[in-house]
Amino acid sequence: MRDLRFTIVTGLSGAGKTLALRALEDLGYFCVDNLPPRLLSKFAELVTQQPTGVIDRVALGMDIRGGEFFEGLVEAVEELGTMGFPHRILFLEADDETLVRRFKETRRLHPLAPHGGILEGIAEERARLQPLRELATHVLDTSGWTLQNLRQEVFAMEGAERRLIISVLSFGFKHGLPVDADLVFDLRFLPNPNNVASLQAHDGNYPGVADYVLARPVARKFLRRLMSLLDFLLPHFLQEGRTQLTIALGCTGGRHRSVVFANRVAAWLKRQRHGVILQHRDIHREDPA
């Protein structure tokens, strides 16, 4: 049987199961939320029919929302083991005060207390879930945790090396700001190679254009300071739970100065062992400037 790992994410309502699933999804898991336990074995069989490498890690959110279907979860998990699938149970919980506060902040009704009485619903849910908690391979108490705390714990549980996937994008201001940019830097203060007849037909990938742009002391100084700023910022983005970041570098038309700087920044980020995606949005525009 192919190597296929299952993680069952369950626990108390309001303890962070949905957020844990999202963190696992960021780690490459195929995630399904609120799957009825009766369908677990059939779902496992369906996954095994997929080509090898398409799905090798699965995370399933299964909790009290399933109503009467939830009662068969323990038996369904045991059947998963009988079928030969490695699996584990991640159980999330929190203290009563934390759960009550979260329900009030989100104005959600507790699934076992649709007419109010949050504490009563929490108490009943704890009692129903106790047999499942005893089977859990991982128990996380999220009392007082932020989203970032939970993500960090899930990543630590996986032994994953957290890193940013950084998109470095060159663009031209005359063609509009990138809508998905997190950081935008304006390079229009630098001399424009488009004003040099011998360079107009070339873009920032041409060595002559790069030499022209970086020959200015102000350009080299700005590049050093930009790298220093990113060196300071990126660990803080990671600490806040970010997994993706878009850095946009713009000049007038997006063909010369921005391309040169995007190439240099992307190369530097790769040396820092970040995941990097380099894009030149406007490099092939017919109206260069």
pLDDT string in tens for the chain (289-residue length): 456 788 999 999 999 999 999 888 888 889 999 888 888 888 888 888 877 667 878 999 988 876 655 667 788 888 888 888 888 999 999 999 999 998 888 778 888 877 768 898 899 899 988 988 998 999 999 998 888 788 888 888 887 666 678 999 999 999 999 998 999 999 999 999 999 999 988 999 999 999 999 999 999 999 999 999 999 999 888 877 777 899 999 999 999 999 999 999 999 998 888 888 899 999 988 654 4
Please give the Cα distance from 144 to 142 (Å, whole number): 6
Q: Domain end: 124, 158, 192, which one?
A: 158
Please give the Cα distance from 137 to 51 (Å, whole number): 29
Token digits of residue 194: 């488009």
Query: Left, alpha or beta for 116 (phi > 0: left; psi -120 to 50: alpha)?
Result: left
Query: Has residue 258 been placed in a domain?
Result: yes
* 36 and 144 both lie in a single domain: yes
> Per the structure, how many domains does the chain have?
2
The alpha helices in 183-289, defined as continuous H runs, are 207-214, 217-239, 257-271
* 72 and 153 both lie in a single domain: yes
Please give the Cα distance from 178 to 193 (Å, whole number): 23
**pTM across the whole model:** 0.60
Please give the Cα distance from 59 to 39 (Å, whole number): 14
Q: Largest alpha-carbon pair distance within the chain? A: 78
Q: Which domain holds residue 224?
A: 165-280
- Catalogue the long-range contacts made by 156-160 (C-beta closer than 8 Å, 24 or more residues apart): 157/90, 158/24, 158/27, 160/27
